[in-house]
Each structure stands twice: as C-alpha cells, then as structure tokens.
Structure 1
Amino acid sequence: MGRLLIVGGVLLAVVGVVIVLAPNIPFLGRLPGDIRIDNGNVKVFIPLGTMLIISLILTVILNLANRR
C-alpha cells in the first residue's frame, strides 16, 4: 500500500511538471497522428500520436515500479 502511494505521488508530480513545461516542448501536440480540423469557427484537435507516446511512457514507468 505504501509503495502504491509513493508511485502515485511521483506520477502526479511528473504529470504536474509536464503540464507546466508543455508549452515549452515544441513537438508535443504536433506529432504525426495528431489530427487537427479547422472549419471556420469549429476547431477539433485529436492528439492520437501524443496520447500513444504518453501511454507508452506511463506503461514503462508503471511496469518498472511494479517489478518485484
């Protein structure tokens, strides 16, 4: 239980840092696979490539944390 709380806290801190630094990361949101639709006053952004990269990074981190 304690290990889970530590991993959760570290993960939350990392997400916070990423949110603060995201505007300074030039490729975040502009990866191949990110879909942008701009029709007049309707804008749609679907970050599939960015979500895939974030998912892979989080999977590796959580698998390393759960390894015994």
Structure 2
Amino acid sequence: MNNMPKFLIGAGILLVLIGLLWALLGKFIPLGRLPGDISIRKGNFGFYFPIVTCIVVSVVLSLVSYIVRWFMK
C-alpha cells in the first residue's frame, strides 16, 4: 500500500479520537475558555479571541505532526 492512503487513514482515525476525547473531556477541560483568552463585552457588542487556546492547539498539533513524521520514516 502506498504511504498516502496510510497517512489519510491514520489522520482520519486520529481526528475521530480527538473528537471523541474533546466531547468527553470538554466538560472538565474548558478548552476555549482558558485564562489568557481575550473577552471584551460592552453593551450589545461582544468580542472573543481565544489566543491561549490557539497556542495550546497549535502545540498539540505540532507534536502530533512530529510523531506522525517520526513513525512514517
């Protein structure tokens, strides 16, 4: 089997597992409402930018990418 189908199958399984973990652990880990996320409310206007959440997700995805590349060698 070619490497690309293996990668796509692995990525799909990984995304399903991440989705399941997010659904189950979302009650305990406030991903999207971490300290450091920017939230501004004034009257009818609300602005929310999850900067710390973006950094955490970026680090996790970078680690996953590194691990996938490590196993693909």
CA RMSD in angstroms comes to 1.9
What is the letter of the counterpart of residue 61 of structure 1? V
Cα pair distance change 1:32/1:64, threshold 3 Å:
same
1:19-30 alignment to 2 at 5 Å?
Answer: 20-21=23-24, 23-30=26-33
Normalization by structure 1: what TM-score?
Answer: 0.77
Counterpart for residue 50 of structure 1: 53
CA positional deviation for 1:22:
6.2
1-structure distance, mates of 2:11, 2:29: 27
Q: Does 1:36 align with 2:39?
A: yes
CA positional deviation for 1:12:
2.2
Given that 1:22 and 1:28 are in contact with CA atoms closer than 8 Å, whether structure 2 keeps it comes out as: no
- Runs of 5+ consecutive residues of structure 2 not aligned to the other structure: none
User: Which of structure 1's runs of 4+ aligned residues deviate more than 6 A?
Assistant: none
% of aligned pairs identical?
Answer: 34
Point out which structure has higher relative CO (alpha carbons under 8 A, 6+ apart): 1
Larger Rg: 2
Normalization by structure 2: what TM-score?
Answer: 0.73
Q: Does 1:5 align with 2:8?
A: yes
